[in-house]
């Protein structure tokens, strides 16, 4: 796909958000999105003492002649 950077559609509509866990050791938030006939079920996991966020993602992709692409644009500013 030569024009993959120019042809895209962001999936921003959220069907549901729920907190699955909010304990002292970790927190888990579940986000479900729909796109056409497809479903994206994503869990964002933050662990105590960790410097990262884990994205656990399950996708039931039902679209025809469409690629699913993912991007994590970040703008990080740090003193270290």
Cβ 47 vs Cβ 26: under 8 Å: yes
Cβ 31 vs Cβ 44: under 8 Å: yes
Tens-place pLDDT, residues 33-56: 999 999 999 999 999 999 999 999
- DSSP β-ladder status, 16-22 and 26-35: antiparallel
Q: What is the pTM of this model?
A: 0.78
pLDDT at 1 (0 to 100): 60
Distances (CA, A) of 32 to 18, 43, 46, 53: 9, 9, 18, 17
């Amino acid at each position: 796909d030569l024009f993959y950077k120019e042809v895209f559609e962001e999936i921003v509509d959220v069907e549901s958000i729920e907190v699955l866990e909010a304990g002292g050791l970790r927190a888990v938030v579940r986000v479900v999105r729909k796109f056409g006939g497809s479903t994206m079920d994503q869990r964002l996991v933050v662990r105590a003492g960790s410097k990262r966020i884990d994205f656990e993602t399950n996708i039931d992709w039902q679209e025809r002649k469409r690629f699913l692409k993912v991007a994590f644009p970040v703008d990080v500013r740090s003193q270290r």
